[in-house]
Amino acid sequence: MVLSPDGTRQSTPEVDALVREIIERVADKWTMLVLEALEEHGTVRFTRLGELVGGVSQKMLTKTLRQMESDGLIVRTVYPVIPPHVDYQLTELGHTLSAAFCGVWQWVEKNYDAVHSARRAFAQK
Amino acid sequence: MVLSPDGTRQSTPEVDALVREIIERVADKWTMLVLEALEEHGTVRFTRLGELVGGVSQKMLTKTLRQMESDGLIVRTVYPVIPPHVDYQLTELGHTLSAAFCGVWQWVEKNYDAVHSARRAFAQK
DNA sequence: CCGGATACTTTCCATTGGGAAGTAGAAACC
DNA sequence: GGTTTCTACTTCCCAATGGAAAGTATCCGG
């Protein structure tokens, strides 16, 4: 691995591409909302998760969860019973990503007033 | 405004809706990439910004920039000359959002290896 | 008078995403 | 014994979104 004198990774085109690809995956509203829901509620089943996230179609919820599972952010546990029982929870990696997003949530909670007044000001021009 | 004893805002359905709406706006790949490009390069013109972001169509770049302007994240300055000259820079609000996203960038730089190996492991099942 | 420069805007088409209905299979109800 | 129920999807159809490329406006330099 290419390292700078201070031990951090260097910014090579290859690394940039990898980082960029993850950013595009992670900067997705459903991913972010699922992350939040799981962080707040721990282990949650499919239907409940849909309710917690709110406004998500089952199709997109399934897709988002599969992606997050494949990226190592969540664990999907299937109990082979009928009716089906599947639940989801964050992995350690998922928890760390959730923590990284914490600053963004705080920013929104702190600044939504500012954004809305900016919008009003912009609207009447 | 509704405040908790500790002075933080309470989580009411109205506030949740506002926060949610901003999250959906901000959790967008182009918004995040534009934010990053402007944070790193300061004042940038349209075409250059497109190059810095990379892979963005002019249509989406325009749309993203207008949204960010309306949300008070960036300032758009038009110099009435020909050929046209327009440049963009972060507002103070934009800088604070960029700072909030800092943790996410760091997370990605630190963990993209973990994500990619999770993907490989997931792929062969 | 043609081409170049810049910041869009428009048009056309492929992809994405929402809504609703369908699927599986045992168990509980009538 | 037939029917409804329960959950986690999957599929189908259609509307909305986004990309690629071409068009627009305007002046200046050759």
pLDDT digits (tens, 9 = 90+) for B33-91: 999 999 999 999 999 999 999 999 999 999 999 999 999 999 999 999 999 999 999 99
**Contact status, residue B114 vs residue A93, Cβ threshold 8 Å:** yes
Cβ B72–A100 below 8 Å, yes or no?
A: no
pLDDT at B5 over 80: no
User: CA(B22)–C1'(D4) in Å?
Assistant: 43
Q: Determine the 3-state secondary structure of A80 from DSSP.
A: coil
Least confident of A45-49, A72-76, A100-104, B121-125: B121-125
Compute the average pLDDT of residues A15-19.
89
Identify which of A15, A71, A123 has the shortest CB distance to residue B115.
A71
Which residue type is seen at B31? Answer: T
H helical segments located in B6-91: 13-26, 29-41, 46-53, 58-70
Q: Say what the pLDDT of residue B90 is.
A: 98
In the predicted model, is pLDDT for residue B3 greater than 60? no
B76, β-bridge pairs: B88
Over 80: is that where the pLDDT of A12 sits? no
User: Which strands, in side-by-side order, build the sheet including B44-45?
Assistant: B44-45, B85-90, B74-79
Q: A94 CB contacts (<8 Å, ≥6 apart)?
A: A35, A38, A68, A72, A73, A74
Residue A120: predicted pLDDT: 96
Contacts of A77 (CB under 8 A, 6+ apart): A86, A87, A88, A89
Q: What is the β-pairing status of strands B85-90 and A85-90?
A: unpaired
Return the higher-pLDDT residue of A124 and A111: A111
Label residue B10 by pLDDT band (50, 70, 90): low
Average pLDDT score over chain A: 93
What is the mean pLDDT of the segment spanning B103-115? 96
Question: What are A74's strand-pairing partners?
Answer: A90
Indicate yes or no: CB of B116 within 8 angstroms of CB of A18: yes
Cβ–Cβ of A101/B106 closer than 8 Å? no
| Average pLDDT estimate for B19-43 | 96
Does residue A55 register a pLDDT over 80? yes
Q: Is the pLDDT of residue A25 over 90?
A: yes
B94 is written with which tokens? Answer: 């934009």
The reply to whether the CB atom of residue A62 sits less than 7 A from any atom in nucleic acid chain D is yes
Residue B4: the pLDDT is 60
Calculate the alpha carbon distances from B39 to A124, B9, B91, B93, B109 in Å. 28, 29, 10, 12, 17
CA pair distance A110, A115, nearest whole angstrom: 10
Average pLDDT on B17-21 reads 92
Which residue's structure tokens are 């706006």? Answer: B25
**So what's the pLDDT on residue B2?**
56
Name residue B79's beta-bridge partners.
B85
Helix, strand, coil percentages, rounded to 5, for chain A: 65, 15, 25
Q: Residues 4 to 43 of A: which have CB under 8 A from any B CB?
A: 9, 15, 18-20, 22-24, 26-29, 31-33
Q: Is the CB of A59 under 7 A from strand C?
A: yes
- CA of B57: nucleotide with nearest C1': D19
Residue pointed to by tokens 């009716």: A83
For residue B86, give the DSSP letter.
E
- Determine the straight-line distance between the first and last CA of chain A, rounded to whole angstroms: 52
- Look up residue B89 and give its amino acid: Q
Give the pLDDT mean for A113-124.
Answer: 96
What does the block give as tokens for A25? Answer: 């995956």
The pLDDT-based confidence of B8 (bands split at 50, 70, 90) is low
- The average pLDDT across A8-21 equals 81
Contact B70 A123 (CB under 8 A): yes
Test the A interface: residue of B9, B10, B22 with most A CBs within 10 Å: B22
Determine the Cα–Cα distance for residues B97 and A111; give it in Å rounded to an integer: 9
Mean pLDDT for chain B overall: 93
In chain B, the percentage of residues whose pLDDT exceeds 70 is 92
- Chain A nearest-CA distance from B115, in A, is 5
Is it true that the peptide bond before B5 is cis, omega within 30 degrees of 0? Answer: no
